[in-house]
Amino acid sequence: MSTAGPLTGYTVIDLSRALAGPHATMMLADLGARVIKVENVNGGDDTRGWGPPFVGPEDDRQSTYFLSCNRNKQSIALDLKSEDGAATLAAMLEKADVLVENFRPGVLDRLGFDEARLQQLNPALVVLSISGFGHDGPEAWRSGYDQILQGEAGLMSLTGSGPDDPQKVGVPIGDLLAGMYGAYGVLAALLERGHTGRGQHVRTSLLAAIVGVHAFQGTRQTIASEVPHAQGNHHPSIAPYGLFRSADGFVQISVGSPKLWEALVEKFELPTAGYETNEQRVQRRDELIAVIEEKFTQLPTTALLEQLGQAGIPAGIVRTMDEVYQWEQVHSQHLAMQVRHPLLGEITLPGAPLRFFDRQQEVTRTDHAAPPLLNQDEAEIRAWLGQLSPMEAGRS
């Protein structure tokens, strides 16, 4: 079992809460960094109270939301407006490599840790700030919550059964993307610091993260002057590509090339007149879906998938979450990890998505720590800083 990773030896101070920042710091922790989560003394991270579901003993229920984004971290509870809290944070920042925060713009300054102070404390410190709408501009002041940004940044207009049915994505994708972009920015800043010796401030936002993944839907607007809209479970630019009914459920297929179209036609004896090119198939998508489903609904899902596989057509089913975590392929990729929690015992968490290999030998971190209880690691952290705890200080 190994706790080492590419970021072993780096220390991250995590002032963030909810999801975007904690997801970024969990990514860094998974890579071996020491992440110290600084939490509010009055209940800690907001997500400790987000539920149901809660699990564990009745007098100390644990939020599964919090458990989803805080593995491999330590916790210390500080009142940053107090003398001890501010001094302890300053001492940590002097020794740290990275600071992550997702306060509203200006809050960190008001706590006494503006750019000048951070530079004074540690010129090599890399700072990651994640906001809702960006740190500047006419709407920087707005609070940024995931679903609000999914709507404001256009994602909900692309998701749903049609233009009159905007839907959010089933996970807080804006938060998660902002966290991923943030971690990516931190790694780039650390790489540059290796050349210059200086840290820098990395900024991203939920708005930036969602616009950053507009991909071909963005260029449909910016270049072709089309306004994309939701159209359900079928690709806007490729056909057939999407969800189709079978005799007893659904299958998904991706026919992304002329060769695959020819294979599908041959296997299921589909008509070709008027469907010769992808452009024609996209223009007549609804007709084509009906033609294909007339064939597919004659077969149960298992048999249909077998025939699609024989024809070389990329295909799959829609799994429920319990089916995903029972799937052998998921376990083969270490995407369900077991950790021991101080209250809950052994629990299973969604696994880290990266694996590392030294040539043929895997060197991925395998020993992971459960998300911490509030203030679980105060003694160890203060010992590292050479400080007494407030209780100890009161006795001295």
Nearest C-alpha neighbor of 40 from the set 15, 62, 20, 73: 15
**Is residue 146 flagged as an active site residue?**
no
Count the alpha carbons within 13 Å of 48 in the hemisphere toward its beta carbon. 16
Which is the catalytic residue, given 114, 175, 248, 367?
A: 175
Nearest C-alpha neighbor of 318 from the set 396, 253, 259: 253
Other Cβ atoms closer than 10 A to 60? 11
State the catalytic residues: 175
